[in-house]
Structure 1
Amino acid sequence: MTNQTLSAVPAYPSELSADTPRRSTAAAILLGLWLVIFFASLFAPPLLDDADATHANAARHIALTGDFVTLHVNGIRYLEKAPLPYWLDAVSFRIFGFNTFAAHFPEAIGVLLLALLGFHWASRAFGNRTGFYTGLAILTSIGVFLFTRIYIPEVLLTLFLCISLYCLLRAVESSNGAKRTFSSATYAYIMWASLALAVLTKGLVAIVFLLGTAIVYLALTGDYKNWRALKPLTGTILFLAIAAPWHILAGLRNTNGMNGHGFFWFYFVNEHFLRFLGKRFPKDYNKLPGYLFWSLHIVWLFPWSLFVPAALVVAIKKWRTRSTPLLASLRSLDFARQTLLLLGLYSALVLVFFSISTNQEYYTFPAYLALLLLLAVALNRAEDTFNTDASSRRWIIFAHIAFMLIGFAVAITLAYGLWSSRHLAFVPDIGDVLAHRDVGNYTLSMSHFFDLTDASFAALRLPAGLAAITFCFGPSIAWMLRAKKRHLAATTTIALTSTVFLIAAHIAFVRFAPMLSSKKVADKIEALEASGAISHDNTVLMYGDQAYGSSIPFYLGRQVDLVEGRSTSMLFGSYFPDAPHIFLTNEDLLRIWGTGDRKLLFVPLEKRDTVDQLLGNNKILLQETSGKALYTDRPLDQPNPQPGM
């Protein structure tokens, strides 16, 4: 046995245990989890301010105008993003209407396809149980859930990149009698087409990740000798045919902007190279400290990150027990080991790249499928050797003990919060009882979690209670099943525990809607117009950057003026000659306030003191929610009498 090559040793057996779900059953369970976690959450809360509604506004403009080349937000060119996510949203809007469901539906489909891709890839390489675990991990990881609550392109980028990686393996796979769904050439062309879609989703970083991984992988394995199988010439032509037209048209149609720059400089230089170096203009982002950047992946991949020690043990053992020199072993890999090597290289590249670059918490999302698949492989392997390998058994036990301790800690914390708020009345608007500490100036995605106070638990009793019960019992049940060697049931219980927690998290997320979305402000304006209390001939203004209330123009379906809001994403596009005159100064506001048609001014919490000093008592409050205010410059009109009154 010791003289055999790695490819001849079944080190990662597909089905060592009868405790394996049927492929159809596993797929049905994954679909059910997606429906419960992701599809059911498409209807609420409403679109959030900042990126969520900003991106929806860009897609709304496409759906209404048919202009698929130049993105616009509130009438201003929005040139910093690749277009594919907005194209998909525009199509969704045309089918389902302008609502929350339509805005987030493409992203939810992306999650489903990502889970099914992970299930298929892992099943082919390691068997149905590993495939099932991979799908479970993708659907129930905290990071995947959190970073698909707003419409950002990361899940679609991950999907297209991972399709490209899978097709890369299949294209260069040696013709050893393995069954193929498609020919080698077809896989190669799918790889190039998927890479083009990834570029249209997120930009040039997709090329860096795929080609960087492919070059190192092909060099290590010797598969560079099969380079013709990748169709580099005709594949590049296909790639350019898909990816190039939009870039060319966007460049031709968007010239002579800020400082004479057009699309090409802003998109390629400013949004790619200068962003990577931390010199992008304007600077409206933060970079996570190194210790947080790395350690937070324990949270984003939770609960599956608990099995990282087991994965490391499996990897070290395989390294120590290899029967051939390293270089020789890399030149004789089967599909399972090819998958491990490729995904290991890819995830390392993504993590290291964003540890150097400017980053947000979700930037490493493209590595999630790779990391979770590797963890699923290690977990399956550890389960198979649970009875015979003391170290595997030890680290699985460690994971379950950690899960139970974390679960009890969370349950106790939530129970304390519920007990502390037992005498407090339910507060519909949770924003009124938050601390508003302005952590990281709210440029980090998770900053608002630091705003929670004891009083806020009065508005979170249902989700907090549900999460507390789940974490109190779920980890213990999973451990009891593991102790009885019912491994499939134990791992599935971990996934179900996370599922119930994510449902509770979604309920809590909906409770935060008044603070995170300004839809109520848009609803108030429409209700006043419908009742006749204000005329339809009015001017809506927002104080500060459009991100403070980007859901307002989406739900009103019209352009709004910005006072002192020529900043961040609105800055570059505002300098084009045909940009609408929507940017006002404080002096402009004072000059028009109380004259001409009625003015309605939305003021975010962060700008209330400024506006109070500017307008003094010369304003009438129409609505206040989560510290955000809607003012007008004159008394309301006489409402229209209701029929029958």
Structure 2
Amino acid sequence: MAESILPGNHPRKPALLSSPAKSWTLLLLVFIAVHFAALFSPSLLDDADATHANAAQHMAKSGDWVTLYVNGVRYLEKPPLPYWMVAVDYHLFGYNVFATHLPETLGVLACAILAWLWARRAYGDRAAFYAALGMLTSLGVFLWTRFFIPESILTFFIALALYCFLTGLEDRRPARIYLMYVSLAIAVLAKGLIAPVFFVAAVLPYLIITGEWRKWRQLRLLSGFLLFLAIAAPWHILAGLRNPDQGNPVGNVPTPGHVHGFFYFYFINEHFLRFLGKRYPHDYNKQPFWVFWIGQLAWLFPWSLYFPVVLRRAWRNRRLAWADVRYDASNTLHFLDPRSTAYEAASMAAKVRFRARTGLLLLLYAAFILVFFSISTNQEYYTWPAYFPLLVLTAGALASIEEAPEAGRWIHNRSKWLIGAHAAFAVVGAAAAAALAAGLWSSRNLPYVPDIGTLLAHRGVGDYSLATSHLFDLTGPSFAALRLPAALAAAALLVGPLIAWFLRKRGHALEATVSVAFTAAVFLIAAHLAFVRFEPMLSSRAMADTINRLAAPGDQLILYGDQADGSSVIFYTQKQAFLVNGRSSSMIWGSCYPDVPHIFLEDKDLLGMWGTGPRKFLFVPGESNSHVEELLHGRLYKLQELSDKTLYTDRPL
């Protein structure tokens, strides 16, 4: 029988966990090294990153805090909170990448703090440390904060609403319940109606399963809902009034002068039809079923290494939870222990109850998100909100295993399941290190090329509509531009997993788990260094700098194709661009309003204006370059070529 860990019989805590200050000193160092240091580079990326930054830039310059605009055109598909935050940053820090990405990076830190608070109450100090460390070192959390999307902000406020719901009911604190409604309203302003859908999908079955629906009066439904509306509704109402229906739109496809207004576009097109895959324009992919589910293991790496042992523990404990009266971090709570007072036994019972209810609520929440997006159209980062509950649950189970005694029936620190997970990590790490070493060796005699875009395959996997499409463009010669990050990643993946495996076999549980996290942290630092090397391909900042250096007041900027392809040029030049054949993608809806600026051109318009009036600067993406050269043959003056993008002017300098 396992030993009891009642007061007075606790095993001594490791020094790192002896106080929150010590734990958070290390956690903040990881946050600064992995996330904060990455705020300053690379420059804003073309596509969604700079497009969203353009909307916030217009807001900061115009003072219009209701309607979003990109390149002078209505951009109605997103709620305003992230743009409000970035617009404030622009007033404080200027128009730069640091100000743009600061809110989402602080969102990661906020998620780590909340994970620490929640896991500490439910599982203890070790689980709290692991939960926060997991938020800071998971691959997906890092990847999906490299560009301007609101997922970390959304994740924090939904998780905060769930925490306030659970603790408000458990502690009978009405203030927490009202904070729940406030958090949920803020989440709506961050991402839209998906926030209350996720919240209700977790809370409603939780109330039914636990019987807590009988406490419905404690949820302050009427006053709480009014508070929710007071925060979430005003912007939606104002946006609807300022962006009404125009003309007599037919169906879901807008035409110039005939377009549905904000209410239809935002609620029907962007929420309901997007879920069904019928949104207009149809510019989103749906990942294959198996790719979607394997992806979740990748985005939660390296903490997904522990999923098998966590699931094994849950399966083994399914009957023991009912058969035994004892049950806490090491499943050894003895309510009849004569050494415990009634108060101590009651406190332990409350902790066990909170732990069990935390597990149920977070499991329902994560499961719904994963199933929802496995059915809906999706991008890789859409499941970001599920990372929080999965990491907290994994941290709680892992801490329970590591704190369990090695005698008895329980899975413990030196279980073959845990050692096997570390052995698998060591094998995968060694294989990855060997692959990186082979790439470095094959490129050892190749010169360093600053523009890595000229070395890539441009395979166009998923037509570049998936966030990870460019990973498939890597070639052997590209390693010549990635020597430092590749070498750093190879060293981390070779050494770190072996150290963790050795420590686990010797019974040093905390040190083994921290070694895994540190391996991930070093790998993520290397990944960021590699990401910076991709700047010439993913961002057009250098071309914007060229225009800013050469342009006189009144000179004109022209983008050929979709504005997203050169959105960083618009941001860094702060010029409104003419768009040739650019009535597409995110520009379609706003371009149909009668008051849209005259910026949408066709080939014949470009021919007519080229070489006349103010100097023209023409940005052309690779897929359109041959067509433009044929169209304007003999009248083009090339200024700069970057990866597959070219910058022209219409007359000699």
**TM-score, scaled to structure 1:** 0.92
After TM superposition, list the pairs within 5 Å mapping 1:220-299 onto structure 2.
220-257=209-246, 258=254, 259-299=258-298
Aligned to 1:167, which of 153, 164, 167?
164
Mapped pair 1:571 → 2:588: yes
Helix, strand or coil: the match of 1:364?
helix
What's the CA shift string for 1:456-508, capped at 9, x where partnerless? 00000000000011111011111111122111111111111111110000000
Q: Which amino acid aligns with 1:293?
A: F
| 2:251 alignment partner in structure 1 | none
| 2:367 alignment partner in structure 1 | 348
Distance in 2, Cα, partners of 1:407 & 1:17: 33
What count of residue pairs does the alignment treat as equivalent? 612
Kindly indicate whether the alpha-carbon contact (under 8 Å) linking 1:417 and 1:454 is maintained by their aligned counterparts in 2: yes
Q: Which amino acid aligns with 2:72?
A: G
Distance apart, 1:606 and its partner CA? 2.1
Helix, strand or coil: the match of 2:530?
helix
Helix, strand or coil: the match of 1:540?
strand
| 1:90 alignment partner in structure 2 | 87
Distance in 1, Cα, partners of 2:443 & 2:521: 26
Distance apart, 1:318 and its partner CA? 2.0
| 2:74 alignment partner in structure 1 | 77
Distance in 2, Cα, partners of 1:381 & 1:41: 34
Q: Which amino acid aligns with 2:374?
A: S
Q: Which amino acid aligns with 1:339?
A: T
Distance in 1, Cα, partners of 2:275 & 2:284: 12
| 2:184 alignment partner in structure 1 | 195
Distance in 1, Cα, partners of 2:10 & 2:51: 48
What's the CA shift string for 1:184-226, capped at 9, x where partnerless? 1110011000000010011111111101111110111011111
Q: Which amino acid aligns with 2:612?
A: T
| 1:540 alignment partner in structure 2 | 557
Structure 2: any 5+ residue segments left out of the alignment? 247-253, 325-348
| 1:486 alignment partner in structure 2 | 508
Kindly indicate whether the alpha-carbon contact (under 8 Å) linking 2:259 and 2:593 is maintained by their aligned counterparts in 1: no
| 2:303 alignment partner in structure 1 | 304
Mapped pair 1:616 → 2:639: no
| 1:216 alignment partner in structure 2 | 205
| 1:62 alignment partner in structure 2 | 59
Distance in 2, Cα, partners of 1:437 & 1:617: 31
Distance apart, 1:149 and its partner CA? 0.2
Mapped pair 1:375 → 2:394: yes
Kindly indicate whether the alpha-carbon contact (under 8 Å) linking 2:5 and 2:11 is maintained by their aligned counterparts in 1: no
Question: Cα distance 1:340–1:626, how it changes in 2: closer, same or farther (>3 A)?
Answer: same
Q: Which amino acid aligns with 1:375?
A: T
Kindly indicate whether the alpha-carbon contact (under 8 Å) linking 1:221 and 1:331 is maintained by their aligned counterparts in 2: no
Kindly indicate whether the alpha-carbon contact (under 8 Å) linking 1:218 and 1:224 is maintained by their aligned counterparts in 2: yes
| 1:43 alignment partner in structure 2 | 40
Distance in 1, Cα, partners of 2:9 & 2:105: 30
Aligned to 1:206, which of 184, 195, 199?
195
Helix, strand or coil: the match of 1:25?
helix
| 2:384 alignment partner in structure 1 | 365
Helix, strand or coil: the match of 1:453?
coil
Distance apart, 1:293 and its partner CA? 0.5
Helix, strand or coil: the match of 1:276?
helix
| 2:404 alignment partner in structure 1 | 385
Question: Cα distance 1:390–1:335, how it changes in 2: closer, same or farther (>3 A)?
Answer: closer
Identity %: 54
Kindly indicate whether the alpha-carbon contact (under 8 Å) linking 2:68 and 2:76 is maintained by their aligned counterparts in 1: yes
Kindly indicate whether the alpha-carbon contact (under 8 Å) linking 1:467 and 1:504 is maintained by their aligned counterparts in 2: yes
RMSD of aligned alpha carbons? 2.0
What's the CA shift string for 1:67-91, capped at 9, x where partnerless? 1100000000000001100000001
Helix, strand or coil: the match of 2:623?
helix
Question: Cα distance 1:174–1:119, how it changes in 2: closer, same or farther (>3 A)?
Answer: closer
| 2:354 alignment partner in structure 1 | 335
| 1:527 alignment partner in structure 2 | 549
Mapped pair 1:549 → 2:566: yes
What's the CA shift string for 1:557-593, capped at 9, x where partnerless? 1211110010010000011111111110011111111
Kindly indicate whether the alpha-carbon contact (under 8 Å) linking 1:15 and 1:128 is maintained by their aligned counterparts in 2: no
Mapped pair 1:518 → 2:537: no
Mapped pair 1:53 → 2:53: no
Distance apart, 1:597 and its partner CA? 1.5
What's the CA shift string for 1:113-163, capped at 9, x where partnerless? 110110111011110100000011110000000000001011110000000
Distance in 1, Cα, partners of 2:21 & 2:10: 16
| 1:606 alignment partner in structure 2 | 623
Question: Cα distance 1:442–1:324, how it changes in 2: closer, same or farther (>3 A)?
Answer: same
Helix, strand or coil: the match of 2:579?
strand
Between 1:228-237 and 1:69-78, the stretch displaced more is 228-237
Distance in 1, Cα, partners of 2:631 & 2:214: 71
Distance apart, 1:332 and its partner CA? 11
After TM superposition, list the pairs within 5 Å mapping 1:128-139 onto structure 2.
128-139=125-136
Distance apart, 1:256 and its partner CA? 2.7
Question: Cα distance 1:14–1:409, how it changes in 2: closer, same or farther (>3 A)?
Answer: farther
Helix, strand or coil: the match of 1:267?
helix
Structure 1: any 5+ residue segments left out of the alignment? 2-8, 176-183, 530-534, 637-645
Aligned to 1:586, which of 595, 598, 603?
603
Distance in 1, Cα, partners of 2:630 & 2:472: 29
Helix, strand or coil: the match of 2:558?
strand
| 1:5 alignment partner in structure 2 | none
| 2:430 alignment partner in structure 1 | 408
Question: Cα distance 1:488–1:15, how it changes in 2: closer, same or farther (>3 A)?
Answer: farther
Distance in 2, Cα, partners of 1:617 & 1:432: 25
Helix, strand or coil: the match of 1:571?
helix
Distance in 2, Cα, partners of 1:341 & 1:401: 31
Distance apart, 1:617 and its partner CA? 2.9
Kindly indicate whether the alpha-carbon contact (under 8 Å) linking 1:400 and 1:475 is maintained by their aligned counterparts in 2: yes
Helix, strand or coil: the match of 2:459?
coil
Distance in 2, Cα, partners of 1:14 & 1:560: 71
**TM-score, scaled to structure 2:** 0.91
Distance in 2, Cα, partners of 1:544 & 1:466: 39
Q: Which amino acid aligns with 1:104?
A: H
| 1:461 alignment partner in structure 2 | 483
| 1:146 alignment partner in structure 2 | 143
Between 1:342-351 and 1:609-618, the stretch displaced more is 609-618
